[in-house]
Chain A
Amino acid sequence: MDSYIDIKVRVWRQAGPKAQGHFETYELKHIFQGASFLEMMDILNEQLIAEHKDPIAFDHDCREGICGMCSMYVNGHPHGPDSAITTCQLHMRKFHDGETITVEPWRSRAFPVIKDLMVDRQAYDKIMQAGGFVSVNTGGVPDANAIPIPKPVADEAMDAASCIGCGACAAACKNGSAMLFVAAKVSQLNLLPQGKAEKHQRAKAMLQKMDELGFGNCTNTGACAAECPKQVSLTHIARLNRDFIGAKFCD
């Protein structure tokens, strides 16, 4: 049964991108365990505002696990200790009375802190712009079912497409690599006939952009897949490797 708990929240506070950050600990009393983690953060912010203090800046949007906006490193895990969920789907019943919860921003060179727990994740958008699309001519839209796609292939492409680009993979990676994200975004298109036509070009362009933006080299530790809120599999990384190496041998 959910009950009420008293907790301490140790939060990373950083005034701006260039400012020196530090941890600040806040006490919260009487938090309902049925509350979501972000609701707890809202309660904390209201408390801070009532005390005339600067509220904690954090990213959030849909609060139903599909937008990829929330991004906190809670007790050593991106999106908290629960598996296969985003921070907004994390609930206070995962924590116990008297616990000190440490909340940090994503830490990766390619994701600089903007303020407090907010980081700049435009690097992922830039990777998408480099090749995460299918080039089509203007004109009438063909019927989607005109191209037969085997169910297992469609399923795998859909699994890859479930990536919401939240950045947990790069945040969890000891090498600061964005391979799982890039692999998912390459796979969701390269698996399907419409995207296959440009698969070599896409793999090269998106990987080149990833390297250029300062992400690290993948060493297959698997931390990304273990922490991914959408459980994107490491096998997509193998496909990206295959498509990229294939593209280079075709050059």
Chain B
Amino acid sequence: MAIQYDIEVDARGLQCPMPIVNARKTFQELQSGQTLRVLATDPGSVNDFKGWANMVADAELLAQETTEIDGKTVYVHYIRKK
């Protein structure tokens, strides 16, 4: 269940397109094989990260899960750099 990750981007409370914009900045700094975890409260981020991973050649969407943090629904995305 618990997926290992190297860096986390907290995009909670941010609206489209900020979650992918912020994820992009950190993703660029990743080494090949490293995994990024993104926290978002924007429900659109679920489809956004699917689309984003399709467009970015070296990104692989490992998993997406929905969880609850501080009483708020949080969408968690795991993206690995190929």
Do A and B bind?
no
Q: Which residues of A contact B (CB under 8 A)?
A: none
